[in-house]
Every structure is written in C-alpha cells, then in structure tokens.
Structure 1
Amino acid sequence: METDSGRGTEPAGSPLGRVVKGGVVALGRLRSLGLRRWLRMERDALVQTVKVTGTCVLGWWLALYVLKLDLPILVPVGVLLTVSATAYSTVIRGVQQVGAVLVGVAAATAVTWLIGINAATLAALVVAGLVLTRLLNLPAQNVQIPITALLVFALGKTYGFERLADVVLGAALGIVANLLVLPPRYVDEAVREVCGLSDELAELAEDMAKGLGEGWDEDMAREWLERARSLSQRLEETKESADQAAESVRLALRRRRYDRRLRQVAAAATCLDHACHQLRGIARGLMDLIAGVRGLPGEEGADLPRALSEQLMVLSRIFRDFGRLQIGHGRKADMHDLCAALDEGERLQSKLAHEFGSTENDEFRALQGALLDDCARIRHEFDPDTGPHKAAFPPTART
C-alpha cells in the first residue's frame, strides 16, 4: 500500500544528534546480542584499527630514522589518506594520491615560475587545483592537488619532492598493509548492518503490536509510519555494505571461501528490503485508518481485533531471529524459534481473517485485506523452506 518514496520524512538531524543516536543504537545492540556476540561482530573493525595504527607508526619511524625526512609525520598522514574500506579501493586511492601530488607539484612549479609568488599565484593555484581535481574525476574529498600546490607555494620547490616522497611511502605502506596484512573483508560489517536493521524492524513491529493492544491514536500511527520510512531509506546503506563486502574480496587470494557468505548477506539484505516495505505498508494502512482518509472510519475503526496485535508481535520475533541467524554460522535455536513463529503467524492469520467482521465500507474492507496480505507476505519472505530467499539462511542452522 505504501508506494510513495519517503514523503514526509524529517531531516537526518544534527551531527550531534546522529552521534547520540548512534551511541544509543550501539548500546541497544550490545544489550540485545550479549557481550560475546557483540565482540564477535566488532572483531574485524578492531583488528583493522590496530593494523592501521601500527602502519602509521612504522611509516613515521622509517621516515624519521631511515629516510631522515624533515617532516616524518606526513608519511602516516599519507597512510591514513590511502587506506580505504577495502584492499581494492586502497590500491585505487593510493594511485590517485600519488598522481594528485605529482600534478600539484607540477602546477605549483609552473605557475610560480610564470607569475611569481603573490596573491594572484595563490588564487590561481587554488582554482587550478580544484578544476584539475574535477577534470581528473578524483573524489570530491581528494584535494591533494590544491593542497600540494599551496604547500609548494609556501615552502619552496624543494618541499615538492619531499612531499612526493612522503606520499609515495605512505601510499605504499597503506597498500601493502591492506593487501597483505589481514586485509579487510567487511563481511562482518555487512552482517552487522543486516543484524542491526533486523533488530530495528523487530522493535518497530513490537511497538506497533503493543500500541494496538493497549490503545493507539493518530500521533502513534504517524510515528510508526515515519520510523518505517526511515528504515526503508536505511536499507540503501545495508545494500551498500553488502556491495562493499563483495568488493573487499576482489583481490583476495582465496576468494571462493567467501562466496557463500557473500551470497547469504546479499540475500538477507534483499529479504529485509522486501519485508521492510511490507511493514511500511501496514503502518501506512493504520495511519490512513486512524486519520479517516479515503472514506475510512477513522477512530471508530481503531478497535482492531487483538489477533492483529499478536500477529505483529510474531513478526517482531521473526525479524529478531532472522538477524541473529546472520551472526556466525547461525544457531539452531534461533532457526527453531523462527519456524515456530512462522507457524504461529499462520494460525493467527486464519483467526484474524475470521475476526475481521463484514463491513459495508468498501475502503475498510479493502484495508483489512491489505493488512492480512502484508502480514502473510512478510512471513513468506522469511520462510526458509518455501520462501524466495533461501540463500539468506545459514545451512548449518537447518540441520
């Protein structure tokens, strides 16, 4: 039923608000998963942090004690600028960094030779650097060309060659570290995104269930719809994480061992995408009902059968079990609970269809059918036996 693309959504909020929200989400995930599972999900991020830190220290030591460079701190800066999310993108970024510095040195040398050192030179270097960055199709955040040009402008031509040596060494160390020393795979990062989104969908379904069971109003319905829309937009980030995980193994020596896990993450993201849109359809329907739009009865029809609240609570269990199944090899207990929830949902579906009374209001009758259909479609998405996303379930949890 919900077909509009995020209409009425609020801005993402202030940077501080996003930081606070991120902290709250992280604490909630820790509480939901338990310390052991949470540490397992964060293990790869911690390893990569330690690795990059060690590479920066090594680069500084080489620059200071071996190469005797005047500004050894620029080598770890080069490492940080080069090291990217994946080994493949690190190689690309390293080449871009070195090329940008070369262009910056050449531009600064040529411009200062032509018009000398003055305000016009400074302006010309900045403009030329930004234009060249765009023409060379470098990322918007890569401003090495104008920065290098300005540093050469301020410190002299000799610095340009030192700058080039710093960046080359930093880029080389970053590439070697990300290629050979525990290269980031980001499969766990994608799993974390899937698991987190599953938990948030579970919380939304649970809040909707409690609201319908305890008494709800238009403000509550509007909040449910806004949350569903926000989660629908978040799915794009989840898909990007799955794509990043696939890219992270492009240069892996034993890439095939990741294939099954990557297929599972991609299928899980698609499964959540479909289920999220269907839950959003339920929220949209409830909002329309309580608001009395399109000829619906409004508050008079807000007293829905308790079976709908119970159905939403079942869907919450399904979302949560599905997220937990993505961690590690998946636990059989979570699979058993998910299957039990699917069976319970099927029973409630028949009960709900029976309890939805006949009404002369055609719009209300259509809405009742849509709510039933959305609930059934969500359960079908998560069915490990007959559903469309069988690859989203770990095979070890089936036996």
Structure 2
Amino acid sequence: METETGRKPVPAGSPLERIVSGGASALALVRSMGIGRWLRMEREVLAQTVKVTGACVLGWWLAAYVLHLDLPVLVPIGVLLTVSATAYSTLVRGAQQVMAVVVGVAVATALVWLIGVNAVTLAVLVMAGLVVSRLLNLPAQNVQIPISALLVFALGSRYGFERLADVLLGAAIGIAANLLIAPPRHVDKAGKELCGLSAELGDLADDISRGLRDGWDAGMAREWLERARTLSQRLEDTEQAAEQAAESVRLSLRRSRYDRSLNQVAEAATCLDHACHQLRSLARGLVDLIAGVRGLPGERGADLPEALADELAALARVFRGFGHLQVGRGRREDLADLRAALEEGERHQKRLVTTFRQTRHAELGSLQGALLDACARIRHEFDPDSGPHTLAFPAHD
C-alpha cells in the first residue's frame, strides 16, 4: 500500500500549462457545482475586487484634484502594493512599504550627496537595497528599497520625498479600505478550495469505477495513482488556506462568531487529506495487482467484482457531497445525499465481503482485504454522525 513517505514532487509545469490547468479546474468546478452555487461562492472575491478598485480610484482622485501631486498614479500603485489577502497582513504590508521607501529615499539621498550620480552610486544603491531588504526580513518580492533609491538617483531627492508622500497616502487608503470596508474573510475561499479538491477526488473515484467496470490496464492504474498523488500534495496547501482564514479574522471585532466556520475549515482539510490517502492506497493496490508483484496474479486478477466499481461510484458521490457542504452554510439536500451515498457504499461493501471470502489465493486475498479496508475508511472519515471529523460538517438547526 502507498505510504505517506511515498509522495513524489509534482512538477509545476510551464506558466502556460498552469494557466490551462487552472482554467480547466475552474470549468470542472462550475460543471460540478452549477452556475448558481458557483456564483454564490465567488461573491467574496467579487466584493474584494470592487473594493480595491474603488480604493485605487479614490487615491488617484485625492492625489490629482485635492493634493495636486505631479504623479497621482503613484497613490493607487501604493494602494495595490499595500492591500493584501487579509486585513492583518495589509497592516503589516503597509508598514513594510512605508519603511522600505523611507530607507530607500534616505540611503539614495545620502549617497548621491556624497558620491554624485554615476555608475558606482547606481551599483551601491542596488546592492545595498537588496542586502538591507534581506536584513529587514522583507518578502522576496518587496524591492521597494532599491526601487525608491533608483528613482531618487534618476529624478532627484525632491522626487524621493514626493514618492514617500504618495506611498504614505496609498498605504493609508489601502489599510483603511481593508480594515473598515468589508474586510476579506477567507473562510469562504478556503471552503471553495476544499470543494474543488473534493470534486476532483470524486472525479478520480468515478474514473476508477468506470475503468474497473469497462476494462482497465497497467497504464490506467498508474495514471490513477499519479492523480491521487498530485491531489494529495495539493491538499497540503489547504492547511495554508485554513491558516489564512484564521488570520483574516484576527482583527475582527466579532472574531468569536467565526470560530465555528474556522473549525469546520480546519477539520474538513484534515478529513479530505485522510480520505485522499485511502484513495491513493487503493490506487496503489490496483497498480500492484495488475503488475503481478508480491505473488499477485497480474492481469489474470484484473477482473474485479462489479460491487467494487459500484462502491467507488458511491464514494464519488460522497466526495462531491462533502465538497458542496463546505460552500456557504451547506444545504440539507447535500447532507442527505452524502448520507444516502454512504449507505449505498456500505451495501456494496457487504456484497464485496461475501465475494472476496471465496478467494483461495493468499496474496490476492490480502490485497482484497486492503481494498475493502480503504473503502471502509473513506466512508468512516466522511460519516457526519459518528466519524472522526464531525466538526467538518455545517451545523443545521
């Protein structure tokens, strides 16, 4: 069976491949959820986009028509550089931007006054800016210190003070927008990611079910295993999504009202990770079976009982139903469908037990037992009543 240490790094692919893959995943999610549910899920993203756009327009208007700055576009740039994923990180990033510009302007003004405008000054400014950025533990993408220094180098110290004013105004507007106007709550975003991954796991279970029913080979089994490994690695990112959701309510005045949702996101991520591990173990077993390793019969044992395909189809419904429950408050209909799929899977499991008992091949019997156990464990993980992750399900009064 596949173990946790058997994970392989998944190649990132070219930027174009990642764009195509992301678009395909988005379309698959829309098909799985339906337009209505998908639009409800994207409300938070749309609201944040409108808010940031409005903050940029307000910053430009203040700079151009109230303060009469020479380059009013720098203020909305300051807004974009400051606004971050959460209100808390926006505050941190705003402080970093201001500090970076202050340091860059100060260093550049001093060096230009001491050395003058020449190639040596340019080299020192860039090198010193990058070194100081690292010493101040600024994010790798934050190069405001050398950028501010170079702008002062090119346009003079007067511009440096104007840039500082622009950044201060942009940072202030960005912080105010994210703290006071619909602060981003990434609980919904984390739920969306969990829903998408759950749907992909359901697709994988469905594909394995159809393959076992219609005929499968070693190549198909290896592809199933690779897909399971890829999804397993992607599920590790959901832990970061859960952490970001917790951070997004850190400065909320009514933080306690999000406790139930935060617990659900964290527990749902753990539940999906465990279930994915079991599905990956099942795929690993099919690869071993068709390859004939460890004394297994190989292609002669590939004709598995139809009940296994039926159980995997039921598990696909379980995965999708669980994903739908992570969006918003979840619907009672989705919970009812998940329970029905669990009961259906249990009925197919009983049929499988009866069929597998007739096996006289020791190694094959051991593998069949592992397949049964993987299916049973997946159902147990998703049991909303007596499973280990009851907090992963929304509360319905």
TM-score, normalization by structure 1: 0.97
* Match in the other structure for 1:157: 157
CA contact (8 A) 1:197 1:231 kept: yes
- Counterpart secondary structure, 1:114: helix
* SS at structure 1 position matched to 2:71: coil
Partners of 1:6 and 1:230 within 8 A in 2 = no
Give the CA deviation at 1:192: 0.4
Aligned residue for 1:386?
386
- Which residue number corresponds to residue 131 of structure 1? 131
Cα deviation for residue 74 of structure 1 reads 0.5
| Counterpart secondary structure, 1:283 | helix
Identity of aligned residues (%): 71
CA offset at residue 6 of structure 1? 5.6
What is the 5 A alignment of 1:152-231? 152-231=152-231
Give the match for residue 54 of structure 2: 54
* CA drift at 1:357: 4.9
Q: Residue 64 of structure 2 aligns with which residue?
A: 64
Assess if the C-alpha contact under 8 Å between 1:109 and 1:157 holds in 2. yes
CA displacement at 1:336 relative to structure 2: 1.4
Tell me, yes or no, if the aligned pair for 1:83 and 1:178 is still in contact at 8 Å: yes
Please give the alpha-carbon distance, in whole angstroms, between the structure 1 residues aligned to 2:298 and 2:99: 64
The aligned residue for residue 30 of structure 2 is 30
Structure-2 change in CA distance of 1:338 and 1:371 (3 Å)? same
Letter paired with 1:393: F
Indicate the SS of the match to 1:185: coil
> What code does the residue aligned with 1:148 have?
S
CA contact (8 A) 1:228 1:279 kept: yes
Deviation at 1:358, TM superposition (A): 4.8
TM-score, scaled to structure 2: 0.97
Gaps of 5+ in 2: none
Alignment of 1:324-343 (within 5 A): 324-343=324-343
Residue range with higher mean Cα deviation, 6-15 or 230-239: 6-15
Instruction: Determine helix, strand or coil for the equivalent of 2:240.
Output: helix
Deviates more, 1:298-307 or 1:145-154: 298-307
1:92 alignment counterpart? 92
CA deviation after TM superposition for structure 1 residue 107, in Å: 1.2
Matched to 1:109, the amino acid is T
Q: Which residue of 2 aligns with 1:299?
A: 299
**Partner residue in 1 for 2:260:** 260
Secondary structure in structure 2 of the residue aligned to 1:329: coil
Partners in 1 of 2:297 and 2:118 — Cα distance? Answer: 74
Instruction: State the distance in 2 between where 1:67 and 1:333 align.
Output: 56
Shift of residue 12, structure 1, vs aligned partner: 2.1
Please give the alpha-carbon distance, in whole angstroms, between the structure 2 residues aligned to 1:178 and 1:213: 52
Q: Name the aligned partner's letter for residue 323 of structure 1.
A: G
How is 1:366-377 mapped onto 2 (pairs within 5 angstroms)?
A: 366-377=366-377
Q: CA deviation at 1:4?
A: 4.8
Does structure 2 retain, via aligned residues, the 8 Å contact 1:381–1:389?
Answer: yes
- Taking the TM superposition and a 5 Å limit, the aligned residue runs for 1:224-373 are 224-359=224-359, 361-373=361-373
One-letter amino acid of the structure 1 residue matched with residue 57 of structure 2: V
Q: Distance in 1 between matches of 2:142 and 2:4?
A: 36
Paired residue secondary structure (1:140): coil
- How far apart in 1 are the matches of 2:216 and 2:76? 56
Distance in 1 (alpha carbons) for counterparts of 2:338 and 2:183: 35
**CA–CA distance in structure 2, aligned partners of residues 185 and 7 of structure 1:** 32
Structure 1 gaps, min length 5: none
The 10-residue stretch of structure 1 (111-120 or 220-229) with the greater mean CA deviation from structure 2: 111-120
Distance in 1 of aligned mates of 2:282 and 2:276: 10
